Structure 1
């Protein structure tokens, strides 16, 4: 069916004979598929019903495909390569409103899994390493919009430890160092190092690794993991820019 749809898209207005010639599919089979496509409104018959063409309804098939999906496609092979060099689970997430959404993770293939960082998981933006890494590379306008919404929800900074002042400090540290660090917090007894992913000078997400705090000396982790994460972040960006 997809082969027929693609062929109609390539040919424009065409006949069953045209489709048979380019696809090699038998004419009876093409007739059945065309009838089905017409019944669902994806194609219509023209020129006295001897030819067919796609309708605007075909666009609905791509409605569920988002830019984030393309980012995940590009990130997946990069994470797979990085996993060969870095033993701990890796995660790539993108922003959605005021949260980071996990788009790709190596947890399914990594034996060292100690949290639930599954694909589709929503993470707070201002209190996580991934969120702060992303915000550190954002435009001032986008970052301030997120912080203002966070301020409205969290109340005065002296009431909650995750207020705007604390968030600004974490983001500033990430901007200065080129990475964001979470040591402690959720999940317990773990640390996370995250770096921003920037495509064409625009922050599009963040890449991180999470590991047991007791398993690696923090200084060693920073020295060893940050360059690898930054290299992989650049590889994800290059896959778009090239």
Structure 2
């Protein structure tokens, strides 16, 4: 049993490191240590193994690492893509190619919105290397708020009850019933959701729901640099296009 447990821990550490490497174009040993909380000797051993397997290469400076194309082979057997993502992908990609800002498609996963598709690879204006599989709070993130505000009252109440059990700092708003209801009412009145300004102030996200008849199937959100645009400018320039893409996705569901 101890030998088996040790093997499982080794696999868990390898997966944790791969996920951390996937967040940035180039990672440093110190940065990986902070993200994963793994000991540096463990990280070095894993990185050497990844190098031997053709998954990772050293960067231009000592202590830097980057993923190689070989990592794509790890998901080549995964073919299940939700219908909403199949429909949304070409539409949001076309919009990003026009306006340059990255767009994400999020779908509900128990107590959070999970990014299932992102146009970051097609955007020159992204702070992240990848956001795929990122879990976003239902009460503080724009994608989550867009889903929560427009879903059916019964589902909304159930989701809030689940999120209230969360210990994640970004879910604290769920504990304040009056504040969360105010946020939901404002979001519904505007027709779009905004990210809590205290979460990653360097950027902002605006999101709208994607409806499948009377149900929310997903949400799509556009992210921009806070230093480049105000919320008002984003609403003026891009909200109509984002809503149009949402409508076109809904029509095909």
Q: 1:90 aligns with which of 95, 98, 103?
A: 103
Matches within 5 A, 1:29-178: 69-115=82-128, 117-153=130-166, 160-161=172-173, 163-165=175-177, 166-178=179-191
**How big is the alpha-carbon RMSD for the aligned residues of Structure 1 and Structure 2?**
2.1
Q: From the superposition, tell whether residues 153 and 102 of structure 1 become closer, same or farther in structure 2 (CA, over 3 Å).
A: closer
* Largest Rg, 1 or 2: 1
SS of the residue aligned with 1:108? helix
What is the CA distance between 1:186 and its match in structure 2?
A: 3.2
Q: CA deviation at 1:83?
A: 1.3
- Could you give the per-residue CA deviations for residues 174-199 of structure 1, whole angstroms, max 9, x where no partner exists? 11110001253333311110001101
Equivalent residues of 1:197, 1:203 under 8 A apart: yes
Can you list the C-alpha shifts for 1:20-50, whole angstroms capped at 9, x where unaligned? Answer: xxxxxxxxxxxxxxxxxxxxxxxxxxxxxxx
Show structure 2 runs of 5+ residues with no match: 1-77
CA deviation vs aligned residue, 1:192-222 (integer Å, no higher than 9, x gap): 1000110112101101001111101321111
Aligned to 2:235: 222
Task: State the Cα deviation string for residues 105-144 of structure 1 (Å, max 9, x = none).
Answer: 1001211110355222211112211111111110000000
What is the CA-CA distance between 1:65 and the residue it aligns to? 6.5
Which secondary structure does the structure 1 equivalent of 2:100 belong to?
coil
Aligned structure 1 segments of 4 or more residues deviating by more than 4 angstroms? none
Q: TM-score, normalised by structure 2?
A: 0.63
TM-superposition CA deviations, 1:55-81 (whole Å, max 9, x none): xxxxxxxxx766x62211111011122
Question: Cα distance 1:188–1:115, how it changes in 2: closer, same or farther (>3 A)?
Answer: farther
SS at match of 1:85: helix
In the alignment, the residues of structure 1 paired with residue 216 and residue 246 of structure 2 have an alpha-carbon distance, to the nearest angstrom, of: 11
Pairing 1:182–2:158 present:
no
TM-score (structure 1 length as normaliser): 0.65
Unaligned runs of 5+ in 1: 1-63, 155-159
Tell me if the contact between 1:102 and 1:117 (Cα under 8 Å) persists in the aligned partners.
no
Structure 2 CA distance for partners of 1:117 and 1:179, relative to 1, 3 Å: farther
Distance 1:65 1:135, change over 3 A: farther
